[in-house]
Structure 1
Amino acid sequence: MSVGIPKNKASYNLAGKGVCDYADCILVDDDLYVLYENVAARSGENVLWIKKINLNTFDGREEKHPDLFRKHLRPELEGASTLHVGGNNVLVEGREGLVISSTDRALILDEEVCAIEKWKSPMENFFSDNSYFRSSDVNDPAKGYDIFDVERKVITGHLDCDLSFVKPISKWLIAGQRKNTNLAIFSIKDNCYVFELDNSRYRYRSQDTLRIIRFASTEESLFALCGDALVVVDLEKFSVVKELNYLDSNFLQKLLVKYDCSKADLLASSISVERFGVVLSGGFNPGYVLCLDMIKENPYIWLNDGYDDMLGVCSKEDIVFGLDNRRPTAWDKFTGEKIWVASARGMANNVQVGRGWLVCSQVAGYIACYQLKKSFVSPYRPAV
């Protein structure tokens, strides 16, 4: 079954004004995990709660839906937390590191365990191959990551790496940035680096002192947005197989003239990947969505632009979903033709596509859920 076009109006609006101060969410197939958070400065209390909502069976009564977990936080902790899902576990990253089982709602790891292990908050953490990895000290990446057995509640090992912004990219591999900002791939199995890319070669905005690399992966490749370049790394040979300076493409060169802007203004801030399809988006006035097919000799397929922020996210079929001037939008993946626009402009800055749902959200507490209904097959899809 092909991915469908959503209804024009959101089926559910969650985490709205008066419900919470901050919110984050993760869409896994048709299950939406929602992290709600209140802070004392705004709501008089520091409390965090999580709901697991199956969007197919949800009755729309958010306040009546049972909590997966609820906890009052220490008053000295400030800021918004981030939600991650790893297998049957839910991870909270930020003000306080928590691991909760999504099957029996049990608290696996909390501040008491963190105190025993001398872990500090905030932290970076992730799950890989049923193990929990947590940074020893987020302010000193060189201290590496402890490996924690969630069943026995003991540390079983340590990763000797200095990575930040870490993501698992396979069963035994993680990727992130070293202290020198280089992109690196690290083997959990062998406890060593297997690839490193010199980040000093690429151009970033002067304000981006951290020189942050955005990346996404498939089973075969890692696609890294390194400032003004798109770099493709083979995950079997651990070598660069393609490098594109996307700012030199005809599409972006035309934007330089159209908007009388600089190349720094056109640096992308987001990357999305599905097989060999890549979508870059961002820009800093103008905004744009640029679609690429990395198999083609000339990979640039189409570009849509505007004066406002734009975001594009690949789907598994013929649609690129995203945001155009904060309005949820869908484009034909092969032509860039706009095929759907939501009836109302929202406040989202993030888009997720599940099995039958499109979810748009932002950290300040706005989550809109659109059901994918009418199937779409592009008339421009290449014949197999």
Structure 2
Amino acid sequence: MGAGIPAKKATFRLVQKFNGVVSAALGNDRLYVLYSSKDGSGKRFFKDFDLNQYDGVEEDVPERLVRSAQPRWRPIFLQGDLLYVYGETPELIDVSQWVACYSEYEGRANPDWAVDGRFAFDGKCIHRAFGWNNYTRGLDIVQNGNLVDHADIDIQYFLPSADGLIFGVRLSTPTFCVYSLREKAIKLEVPLVHYEFANDEPEASVSRCGNQLHVLAGNHVLIIDLTNFSIVGEFAYFNSAFMQSLLAGLKYKNAAFPQYISASMDTLVLSNTNGAGYVLCLSTVDGAVLWGRKSSREMYAANTDGDLVFGLEERRPRAWDKYTGEEVWQASAGTIANTIDVSDNWVVYHQPAGDVQCFTWKKPYSSPHRPS
């Protein structure tokens, strides 16, 4: 079902008075929130909100997997029933049963690892980086809590694996790399020397949609087919009239490079969260610019499979027609959010300090401008 226009007022507002930091992940109609408390010696726990059944009383939702822990922000990601917890003392949790499939609260397989870290899971084994941003020493491979192998690969990955694949910029060479955990093999390397980056530092934001990766590589967008590991699209979006106009008004070109990409099958949106805030929407067919919006403050956008793009502009939740950029919805209250999750009938705005705002709709939005 496609995204729809929500009510102006949030259906639920969570974590408004919590003394600590939070992270959230949305899957279908369930919202998983990780609370890390600053009270006392500190504790960490989850709450599982069935948004269709939730009565609005946050205190009545039980705490899951309570641990003694420092009040640190831990990013979480949901894939199916598996919740990946990165940061201090990483874990992999099966939320269908609320059991930890992997947990470093029970000890680290390699004492040389930093306490803060991230990992990938290939269906059998954990592939653990040596530290939060330490990719230089490759990945240790763990099975049943024991160190069983090592992969000498230096990819700066962030997202959990899907189909046993991880991807990101390599440290030893300026390339974007797709790597198979199961095969211990590089499937594709794309040289990045041809592209321009802010501060001349190669970076890549990635959005996966089915078997396609949409890669924001500086002043270009690449589309990679994961069935045959080939580049099927390359868009020089900096050459567009929108970007040229934006650049003409900037003192420093580095301020024009966006940080995020969010893709659907037919469109992709780029977001710039610095002072030269903008959202730019491109067609995935030929890279043509469908529309752009700019602001004097940071902007952020999340694409959908429907006819809407949800976003943040002037610190207020909004929605724009995917094909024209026309604003069709604006929430009645502002937000401090810096992340947007969309799934089924819900859009959730959140950030580490709390105030998680959940919006829903009654029917999908159908754009009068959708191509026939």
Please give the TM-score of this superposition, normalised by the length of structure 2. Answer: 0.91
Q: How many angstroms apart in 1 are the aligned matches of 2:134 and 2:334?
A: 41
Q: How far apart in 1 are the matches of 2:273 and 2:3?
A: 28
Q: What is the rounded CA distance, in whole Å, between the counterparts of 1:89 and 1:132 in structure 2?
A: 13
CA contact (8 A) 1:7 1:373 kept: no
Q: Superposition RMSD on alpha carbons, in Å?
A: 2.3
- Residue 134 (str. 1) matches residue 128 (str. 2): yes
Q: 2: distance between equivalents of 1:5 and 1:200? A: 42
2:300 to 305, 311, 315: 311
TM-aligned CA deviation for residue 253 of structure 1: 1.2
Give aligned-pair identity as a percent.
30
Within a 5 Å distance, the mapping from 1:44-83 to structure 2 comes to 44-73=40-69, 79-83=72-76
**Bigger Cα displacement from structure 2, 261-270 vs 63-72:** 261-270
> CA 1:106–1:375 in structure 2 vs 1: closer, same or farther (change >3 Å)?
closer
Residue 169 of structure 1, CA deviation: 5.8
Q: For each residue in 1:121-173, what CA deviation from the matched residue of structure 2 results, as whole angstroms up to 9, or x when unmatched? A: 11111334364332244554243323444xx4445544332222243564132
State the one-letter code of the partner of 1:227: G
Kept in 2, the 8 Å contact 1:266–1:283? The answer is no
Using a 3 Å threshold, how does the CA distance of structure 1 residues 78 and 27 change in structure 2: closer, same or farther?
closer
1:285 CA displacement: 2.4
2-side partners of 1:165 and 1:113: how far apart?
Answer: 25
Q: One-letter code of the match for 1:340?
A: W
Q: Partners in 2 of 1:137 and 1:267 — Cα distance?
A: 28
- What is the identity, as a one-letter code, of the residue corresponding to 1:9? K
Q: What is the match of residue 94 of structure 2?
A: 101
* SS of residue paired to 1:143: strand
What is the Cα deviation at residue 277 of structure 1?
1.1
Go from structure 1 to structure 2 and tell me whether the alpha carbon gap of 1:19 and 1:190 turns closer, same or farther (over 3 Å shift). Answer: same
SS in 1 for 2:361: strand
Q: Does 1:292 align with 2:285?
A: no
Q: Does residue 90 of structure 1 match 2:80?
A: no
1:133 counterpart letter in structure 2: H
1:143 equivalent in alignment to 2:141? no
Matched with 2:13 is 13
Unaligned 5+ segments in structure 2 are none
Does the residue aligned with 2:5 lie in a helix, a strand or coil?
Answer: strand
Number of residue pairs matched by the alignment: 370
1:148-187 correspondence to structure 2 within 5 Å? 148-149=142-143, 152-155=144-147, 157-168=149-160, 170-180=162-172, 182-187=175-180
Q: CA deviation at 1:14?
A: 1.1
Q: Does 1:247 align with 2:238?
A: yes
The alignment's TM-score, normalised by the length of structure 1, stands at 0.89
CA-to-aligned-CA distance 1:170-206 (integer Å, 9 cap, x gap): 4132212222353110012321111112234332222
Cα contact 1:86–1:127 (8 A) shared by 2: no
The aligned residue for residue 375 of structure 1 is 364
* Structure 1 gap segments, 5+ residues each: none
User: In the TM superposition, what is the alpha-carbon distance from 1:355 to its structure 2 partner?
Assistant: 0.5
